[in-house]
Amino acid sequence: MGLLGTTTAEQYYSLSQKFTTTSAQVTSGEYQLTVQDLPNGIDGFIIEDDGVEVDQANYSYDAVTGLITFSSGKPALSSIVNVKFVDRSLGDYRYITLEDFVNNFMYGYTGEGKVLNKVRRSDILFHAKRGIQEFSYDISKIEKIQEVDVPPTLTLPMPQDYVQYTMLSWVDTAGLEHPIFPTRELTSRPSQSVAQDDDGNYLFNSDGKVTEINPSVTQTRFQDFDLYTFSGNLKDDDYWLYTHYIANRVFNRGGRYGIDAARANSNGMFVVDEANGQFGFTSDMAGKTILIKYISDGLGTDAEMKVSKLAEDALYKYVYHAILSTKLNIPEYQIRRAQKERFAAMRNAKIRLYNFNTTEMINVMRGKSKHIKH
């Protein structure tokens, strides 16, 4: 039997399974799901009877066998019952789930006569999750894109599985992206803004902790800063000093030798608040739609804990070496051999997932002053 099991092409592309109700099903009210990856619960799908959604109270579901049983409102003879799967996407066949990986590892690596005699399933699961994290950072680099609108507070929280951003941009009415760049050394988001009295002494609350100012003065001034008109909220500066100071600081840094290309951008700026897990934006970003492109750790949800089949062998080698390294009385030469196998497999996985396309390279090089033969 093929690896797709009983999943048909229609079930794969439509993300659903259809039934034409038979007389036996009218009597029993039972519909057997035959897709490869069964839903984990009743919330993993919705049922339509001749195009009308059925209330969940009318049926039950067994997640182990994949059997749906109607207790009331049974579909009529020859009616079309369509089970639509929720949170399932095309292309899942490219990946192996964490559960399948652990099962395969136990079958191929553990037991009598195998390379690992006794290993607990929890140990395999722990090292497999760590491997998925490391692969997400170094090999597969799972990049997610979150679309959000900048609120009046000009502050957005980092995604729950955020590790590091790759790019932030705002989207115009045509759906095109405009890159936003970090402020770098221009400003920072203080992780703590301390309240003080007139003499500069720190103020404390009833618990003896330092009283903090929220938002900080730096944050407030940055949020009030308008990149286009320089109409900020900076006091005690006359118009000439203010406008020229800001213009030179932001746009013309290094102006003696020419414009600083790193700041030749009018799309706005953002600041990263690592301590509080937030992004801050200039006032011109208020109300705009922002795309946050970031690296995920691959462990955000249960459905995300999977690894590309091109890196499956590398993850086996990673877990095998990790388990050997934590066991007692293992000869050093075995650990070193496992380490070399892991390194070679991870290198191969990185090459496989690099996804270098010669046609795309030719198209890029056509814009250069070079003649490409093809």
- Asked if residue 321 lies in contact with residue 336, where contact means CB atoms within 8 angstroms, the answer is no
- Asked if residue 132 lies in contact with residue 305, where contact means CB atoms within 8 angstroms, the answer is yes
Residue 39 and residue 280: Cα distance in Å, rounded? 39
Full-prediction pTM beyond 0.75?
no
Kindly report the number of other CB atoms within 10 A of residue 374's CB atom. 7
Packing angle, helices 312-326 and 332-353, rounded to 10 = 160
Indicate the pLDDT class of residue 324, thresholds 50, 70 and 90: very high
End-to-end CA distance of the chain: 42
User: Which position has the higher pLDDT, 124 or 214?
Assistant: 124
Q: pLDDT tens-digit profile of 70-83?
A: 999 899 999 999 99
Indicate the pLDDT class of residue 234, thresholds 50, 70 and 90: very low
Q: pLDDT tens-digit profile of 172-206?
A: 888 888 888 887 666 676 777 778 888 888 888 88
Q: pLDDT tens-digit profile of 5-49?
A: 556 777 777 788 999 999 999 999 999 998 877 888 899 899 999
Residue in this structure with the two tokens 């170094």, named with its chain if needed:
138
Indicate the pLDDT class of residue 100, thresholds 50, 70 and 90: confident
Residue 279 and residue 250: Cα distance in Å, rounded? 19
The answer, yes or no, to whether residue 265 has pLDDT greater than 70, is no
Looking at residue 91, its pLDDT comes to 67
127, 322, 338 from 110: Cα distances, Å: 15, 14, 15
Looking at residue 230, its pLDDT comes to 42
The answer, yes or no, to whether residue 297 has pLDDT greater than 90, is no
Q: Residues with Cβ < 8 Å from 102, sequence gap 6 or more?
A: 121, 124, 125, 128
Residue 279 and residue 273: Cα distance in Å, rounded? 6
Looking at residue 250, its pLDDT comes to 52
Residue 34 and residue 67: Cα distance in Å, rounded? 9
- CB hemisphere CA count around 83 (13 angstroms): 26
Q: pLDDT tens-digit profile of 326-335?
A: 988 889 999 9
Please give the average per-residue pLDDT across 233-246, as a whole number. Answer: 46
The answer, yes or no, to whether residue 242 has pLDDT greater than 60, is no
Indicate the pLDDT class of residue 275, thresholds 50, 70 and 90: confident
Indicate the pLDDT class of residue 226, thresholds 50, 70 and 90: low
High-pLDDT (> 70) share of the chain, %? 80
Residue 156 and residue 163: Cα distance in Å, rounded? 15
Looking at residue 255, its pLDDT comes to 52
Tell me which residue of 290, 271, 294, 295 sits closest to 178, measured CA to CA: 290
- Asked if residue 149 lies in contact with residue 289, where contact means CB atoms within 8 angstroms, the answer is yes
H helix runs in the chain, sequence order: 9-14, 23-28, 98-109, 121-138, 217-224, 239-250, 312-326, 332-353, 358-365
Strand ranges for the chain from DSSP E:
16-20, 30-32, 45-49, 52-53, 59-62, 67-70, 80-85, 95-97, 143-149, 155-157, 162-171, 177-182, 269-273, 278-281, 289-296, 306-308
Over the chain, what is the mean pLDDT? 80
The answer, yes or no, to whether residue 224 has pLDDT greater than 50, is yes
